[in-house]
């Protein structure tokens, strides 16, 4: 079947087919990482819906909403190549009423780590994701592990609000040099890219250690090698369920997460590791 572009609720209703529906929410500027999400959805569902919407609620006043890449024609071609059934591409005015008052609160987990540096960001993320769930009515949705805190919060929202949707996390896709794929990578100069790979190198180095103190110290030492070209926001070793910092003696899965500005571009990355105290 031909790819359907839906602009509103009525279009989505008309496009709905019998069977399992998977949603892949995106802000566009699709790359190989997004392709991996679509492919995972394709395996699990009879119909795949990709949303493309640059959500103003998740950008702060000094962030890059106005210059965030918008490449809709290229994105449609990616969706065609990957066998997507429906692209949902609404306008902001169609999703957010001028007198909107109610939104989703991300709670305490939305105010730590990434949330501490981007106040209100996760409230905006959860609000748009819940709206997309209500509009598309998917059976499952696929998100990338690169946005680990976002993924954890979406899982929490689904559990806390009793939403009948399965949430799948897909592994981070990386460039050959280790840099995590991101729509923002296109902003990096050649020099910036050389600095940016320090993020993944630091995570790998930290993940090779054994105790929380060693992990943090080792990763931080690698980040310090980058010099003034890397402006670190945070390096955090956290419980993946709560994003609270883990202490010495912690046992089980943990996420080592980093965020930094390289040139004018802010990047995030993370790895999951297992801590087994002696």
Task: Give the residue numbers of the binding site for (R)-pantoate.
Answer: 58, 150
Question: How far apart, in whole angstroms, are the C-alpha atoms of residue 88 and residue 276?
Answer: 44
Query: Cα 192–38–256 angle (5° rounding)?
Result: 45
* Residue numbers belonging to the annotated binding site: 27-34, 58, 144-147, 150, 173, 181-184
Residue 224 and residue 247: Cα distance in Å, rounded? 23
Tell me the torsion sign for CA atoms 216, 111, 62, 94: positive
Instruction: Indicate which residue of 15, 26, 34, 257 is catalytic.
Output: 34
Give the number of C-alpha atoms closer than 13 A to the C-alpha of residue 44, restricted to the C-beta side. 21
Query: Is residue 278 a contact partner of residue 193, using CB atoms and an 8 Å limit?
Result: no
Residue written as token pair 């449609």: 76
Instruction: Please report where in the chains the tokens 């926001």 appear, as a residue.
Output: 233
End-to-end CA distance of the chain: 57
* CA separation, residue 52 to residues 37, 91, 146 (Å): 14, 10, 18
Q: CB 208: neighbour CB atoms within 10 A?
A: 12
State yes or no: is 34 an active-site residue. Answer: yes
The strand ranges marked E within the chain are 4-6, 21-26, 47-52, 86-88, 140-144, 166-170, 230-238, 252-262, 265-275
Report, as residue numbers or ranges, the catalytic residues.
34
């Amino acid at each position: 079947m031909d790819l359907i572009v839906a602009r509103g609720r009525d279009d989505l209703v008309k496009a709905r087919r019998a069977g399992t529906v998977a949603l892949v929410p995106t802000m566009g500027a699709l790359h190989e990482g997004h392709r991996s999400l679509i492919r995972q959805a394709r395996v699990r569902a009879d119909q795949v819906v990709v949303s493309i919407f640059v959500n103003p609620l998740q950008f702060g006043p000094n962030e890059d909403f106005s210059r965030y890449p918008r490449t809709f024609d290229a994105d449609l071609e990616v969706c065609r190549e990957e066998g997507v059934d429906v692209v949902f591409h609404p306008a902001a005015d169609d999703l957010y009423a001028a007198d909107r008052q109610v939104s989703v609160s991300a709670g305490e987990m939305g105010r730590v780590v990434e949330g501490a540096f981007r106040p209100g960001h996760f409230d905006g993320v959860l609000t748009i994701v819940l709206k997309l769930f209500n509009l598309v009515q998917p059976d499952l949705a696929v998100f990338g592990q690169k946005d680990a805190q976002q993924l954890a919060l979406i899982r929490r929202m689904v559990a806390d609000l009793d939403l009948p949707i399965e949430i799948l996390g897909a592994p981070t896709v990386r460039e050959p040099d280790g840099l995590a794929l991101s729509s923002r990578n296109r902003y990096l100069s050649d020099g910036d890219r050389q600095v940016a790979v320090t993020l993944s190198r630091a995570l790998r180095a930290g993940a090779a250690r054994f105790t929380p103190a060693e992990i943090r110290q080792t990763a931080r030492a690698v980040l310090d090698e980058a010099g003034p070209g890397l402006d670190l926001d945070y390096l955090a070793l956290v419980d993946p369920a709560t994003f609270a910092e883990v202490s010495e003696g912690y046992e089980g899965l943990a996420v080592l997460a980093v965020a930094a500005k390289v040139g004018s571009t802010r990047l995030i990355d993370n790895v999951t590791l297992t801590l087994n105290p002696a």
